[in-house]
Chain A
Amino acid sequence: MIQPTATGRQVQLMITCLCDAFYADVAKAVYAVLDHAGCSIDVPEGQTCCGQPAFNAGDWDSARKVMRHTQKVFKGDRPIVLGSGSCAAMLRHGSELAFEDQKDQEAFEKLGKRTWELTEFLVHGLGMETWGGKFPARIALHKSCHTRNTRVYESAVKLLSSIEGLELVKVDELEQCCGFGGTFCVSFPHVSTEMGNLKVQHLTENNPDVVATLDMACMMHFGGLMDRKGMSFRRMHVAQILAEALNITPA
């Protein structure tokens, strides 16, 4: 896993394809949080996707095609920030695998070193120790699998813990996956659903006010299960909580 080193407040925002298609509010919150942190934000127009769907499915030719496009779109040497540990892991580790025998490998090593997940960027890129504000609620935070071997989850916990009134509730079997896994969720629908059901149970059994995530892919999955079951827990991305705590949620 490549560790990011690029810092500074001139950043490029990667929307992520899921936020581009389904979760505009989350992308807005990521933008607002970076804006509040004093960043000048560039949103490269030609961006599409990190390439992970094809990569995970084994179609590395297709994945590389998309990743080469992404590498071209995110020019320069500024930090690239995104509200997803999963897409970040694709650019920091998936690319290591996909390009290990390719001529342009070096370009992707550079890209990886610029890539940050939002909370990790705030804490380790900008050196923020606290976030502040007020959010009186009990939160069940899902630990996305793609935060393994990174400082993402601890960064999110650090920032959330500094918010007045916010309480993180215990989530049993925190290390267990929600069952999304890209195409896995449609090619193994039974196993994926049962994994998701267990996740929903663990996230909700302590009756939190909010179920939170660092990755909309996970939340699309367990949220989709919750919607089907008619469960009405409020669901938020961590960026939305950070924004709401400071009353900077974009309209």
Chain B
Amino acid sequence: MKQTIDNFAKDLGKEVYESVHLASKLKTEKRVDILWNDFEDPDLLRRTAGLVKQHTLEHLDQYLEQAEASFKRNGAEVHWAIDGDEANQHVVDIMKRHGARKMVKSKSMVSEETHLVPYLEKNDMEAVETDLGEYIVQIDHDHPSHIVTPIIHKNRKQIGKSFEREGLGEYTEDPKSLTGMARRHLRQKYLEADVGLTGANFVLADTGQVVLVTNEGNARFSMAAPRVHIVMVGIEKLIPSRSDLPLYLSLLARSATGQALTVYTQLIGGPKAPNQPDGPEAMHVIFLDNGRSQILESNCSEILRCIRCGACLNVCPVYRQASGHAYRSVYPGPVGAVLSPLLKGDQFPELADLPKASSLCGACNEVCPVNIPIPDLLLRLRNKGKKEHAPRAKIATPDFKMWSWAASNPGAWKTGMSFGHAMNVVPHALMNLAPPGKAWLGSRDLPKFQGGAFRKWARQQQKQKGKIK
């Protein structure tokens, strides 16, 4: 059995590889430039943001109650969903209640997680993605491959062809013309929609507001044009107070896209007030658990600090080689390798290979705006996979029983070292019989074996110095 992520990377088309690799590298560089240019000690900010988030998670019950009360005070309705289906059904029920059939959708990873759009379609409702990237994903019947830049795996030629096929306009590769086509098409959709759905980048417990950051302004249109605004959000998106927000806004866009702030930053609390001429008549906030409570109780709770900036994807050498679709889940890259198997709950074994897709280089932790110790969490999940005998955790992994016996018996270890010399005369053909040997020798030579040579030399040194006889 081979590692599916490694195979996926091996079969990846050159175009996709280049799109992903170049964009990730560029974003990583922009992130470093802006953070170290704008702040004296960005690491201190990251660590502080991590502590505040961890505090919030450790008191999540309190903050969720506070948030619910605040939203209600602002005139919004609050709904709770234990899993994706329940969240989707809330959406359907809300739409039915308001006599709605058409939805415009702003980008939301949580709605990807619950498979909202197919659920709505089954209920004879229509949803249009309004984030440009997500819109392209939708018309191509594709999946996002990155949590911030969903079509990082596509280039403008492919998009030109898709727009031509959908009748948006004549084929062009010019980004400005392509954006113009999408804009004209989507404007009409906002006006026709009954309901707008957004996610939330943050939820402020004290003021009962959702915070949305976008570059395209589509979230504004989505929530403001239709009669009803629905927010679907994971319970981990809370921060205690509006006074905590500047810290996170300082880090989010800089980490994600290398911008000081995104073009639009909105704080929305409740539907339109009686004295406001425009805006949605009703606002509904759906808090989704979908396995998060279980993660909170596990030894990997830190992963729930994630603010979905994508910096760990961009910097990850494995993600750069494999691309997001290799991870077989909504959340790819280092954060996905931890979060996705955990969100599977009892079906953890299905994705037990994901935590293995890392050299544990630690770059993900170094860039994380909330200082999640991703490599530690990957290690804990590897151990979980081993302890639970998950078949996918075993793929192409040598057994360490014999090794641990030898490495705790000095006599056996030394004997192994002297027999190891045989490796220098064993032909490659024979070494190729063992899977790890074969995998190594496919592209790399082995150094010459010198087992025990240093120990012999060191003994002589010690003798000369009269330390031993």
Contact = CB atoms under 8 A, between A and B. Distances in A.
A183 to B, nearest CB: 6
Contact of A181 (B360, B393, B407, B408): B360
A148 B407 contact: no
Residues of B contacting A: mostly: helix
A2 interface: no
A180 B444 CA distance: 11
Contacts of A177: 317, 359, 361, 363
A196 B360 contact: no
B403 A62 contact: yes
B408 A224 contact: no
Contacts of A61: 404
Contact of A183 (B315, B357, B380, B397): B397
B348 interface: no
A186 B442 CA distance: 10
B443 to A, nearest CB: 4
A213 to B, nearest CB: 13
B359 A27 contact: no
A43 B359 contact: no
A4 interface: no
A146 B385 CA distance: 24
B440 A185 contact: yes
A24 B450 contact: yes
Classify chain B's interface size: 35 or more
Interface in A51-102: 51, 53-63, 65-66, 68-69, 73, 94, 97
B90 interface: no
B359 A58 contact: no
Contact of A189 (B361, B407, B439): B439
Given A145-B362, A191-B322, A56 B449 contact: no
B366 interface: yes
Interface in A130-175: 145-146, 148-149, 173, 175
Contacts of B171: none
Contact of B454 (A19, A146, A175): A19
A8 to B, nearest CB: 17
B455 to A, nearest CB: 7
B410 A45 contact: yes
Contact of B445 (A45, A175, A193, A227): A227
A226 B110 CA distance: 45
Interface string B390-407: 000101111011011111
A46 B410 contact: yes
A65 B408 contact: yes
Contacts of B356: 58, 184, 187-188
Contact of B400 (A54, A181, A188): A54
The 10 closest A-B pairs by CB, nearest first: A181-B359, A58-B382, A224-B444, A177-B361, A62-B404, A187-B396, A24-B453, A69-B408, A227-B445, A54-B400
